[in-house]
Structure 1
Amino acid sequence: MKLYQLHASQALPITKDVAWAFLSDPRNLAAITPDHMGFDILSGADKAMFPGQIIQYKVIPFPGFPTRWVTEITHVRDGEYFVDEQRFGPYALWHHKHFIKAIPNGVLMEDIIDIKLPFGFLGRLGYPLIKKQLTKVFKYREQKLVERFGCLEDQPTRLNLKSI
């Protein structure tokens, strides 16, 4: 079984409360997802985040490949972190940890996503395409968050997708 891990971090000049309010509200995900992905929440985002919450989306991860994606919020520690796990969707495994940590003059947001591609060996052949797409999505997100909240000049954004 081949796993991949994406690790992204971004510093923002905002408080933990502001970061948490934005990032823990699933309705804000559309604002930081590229338009061409056709992201639309179908159900489950009408309440504050809680463990066991099921959220259903429609998304186009690749042109011509619309899909439904169902995630469950499995862990929440208010103001600090939450975890979403794919229940149905395009990956064999999607386990996404979101952390928020106070740093001087702002917060550090950190995402760690463990991924297993579908279709065994054939799926692994698609890794370069998946890596490129996820990198684009996180670069877009970085840009949108900077537009909304600004940035901390002395804290570079980091993005790394690797095999583990």
Structure 2
Amino acid sequence: MSVHSFKAVQCIPVSLQEAWAFFSSPVNLQAITPPDVHFRVTSTLHGESIYPGQIIEYKIKPLWGIEWYWMTEITHVEPGRYFADEQRYGPYSLWHHQHHFKEVPGGVEMTDIVHYKIPGRWLGDLVAGRLVEKKLQQIFAFRFKTIEGLFGKYP
């Protein structure tokens, strides 16, 4: 039973304040998620910006059109620097997602670090190694292109 990890880095030609305002709003997550995942935020009490202890609920169809209920909690927030969310209920045995922001010349470097574990022991590891990692790569590739479309290409 392995814990898998995934890292994505993207530079965005905006101010740190603009990047933080966009990415710390739960409403914007749907806009940067591929349509084939059928991701939608279903909670209505999440507020304008993230805060520690915040619960966000979603419905997703990540694989084979099967709908999943997913609940995450924002566990850590340091405004303008990072925030982390952890799954409280959903398809993973473990889901921990860190979002880091750092000013760089001409914009912001955004780094996502995900640690996850699939239920099912060795079968879960097999699935994670093939299907889930490929899906995460597709989701973050879509996110990269969408963010470039929204904010422009980093020089």
- 2:83 maps to which residue? 82
- 2:7 maps to which residue? 7
Instruction: Tell me the TM-score normalized by structure 1.
Output: 0.90
Deviation at 1:47, TM superposition (A): 3.8
- 2:18 maps to which residue? 18
Structure 2 letter corresponding to 1:141 = R
Matches within 5 A, 1:137-148: 137-148=139-150
Unaligned runs of 5+ residues in structure 2 are none
Deviation at 1:128, TM superposition (A): 0.8
Matches within 5 A, 1:35-74: 35-43=35-43, 44-74=45-75
C-alpha distance in 2 between matches for 1:139 and 1:47: 26
C-alpha distance in 2 between matches for 1:23 and 1:92: 25
Cα displacement string for residues 38-75 of structure 1 (whole angstroms, at most 9, x for unaligned residues): 11111143342110000000011112211010000000
After superposing the two structures, state which structure 1 stretch, 4-13 or 120-129, moved more: 120-129
Determine helix, strand or coil for the equivalent of 1:128.
Answer: helix
Cα displacement string for residues 97-125 of structure 1 (whole angstroms, at most 9, x for unaligned residues): 00000000000000000111111111111
After superposing the two structures, state which structure 1 stretch, 43-52 or 60-69, moved more: 43-52
**Higher strand proportion:** 1
Determine helix, strand or coil for the equivalent of 2:50.
Answer: coil
After superposition, the CA RMSD in angstroms is 1.0
Higher relative contact order (CA 8 A, sep 6+): 1
Do 2:9 and 2:109's aligned partners in 1 also have CA atoms closer than 8 Å? yes
**Residues paired across the two proteins, number:** 153
Determine helix, strand or coil for the equivalent of 1:46.
Answer: coil
Determine helix, strand or coil for the equivalent of 2:98.
Answer: strand
Structure 2 letter corresponding to 1:104 = P
C-alpha distance in 2 between matches for 1:25 and 1:141: 15
C-alpha distance in 2 between matches for 1:104 and 1:146: 17
Give the fraction of aligned pairs with identical amino acids, expressed as a percent.
44
Structure 1 stretches of 4+ with a deviation exceeding 3 A read: none
Instruction: Tell me the TM-score normalized by structure 2.
Output: 0.95
Unaligned runs of 5+ residues in structure 1 are 154-164
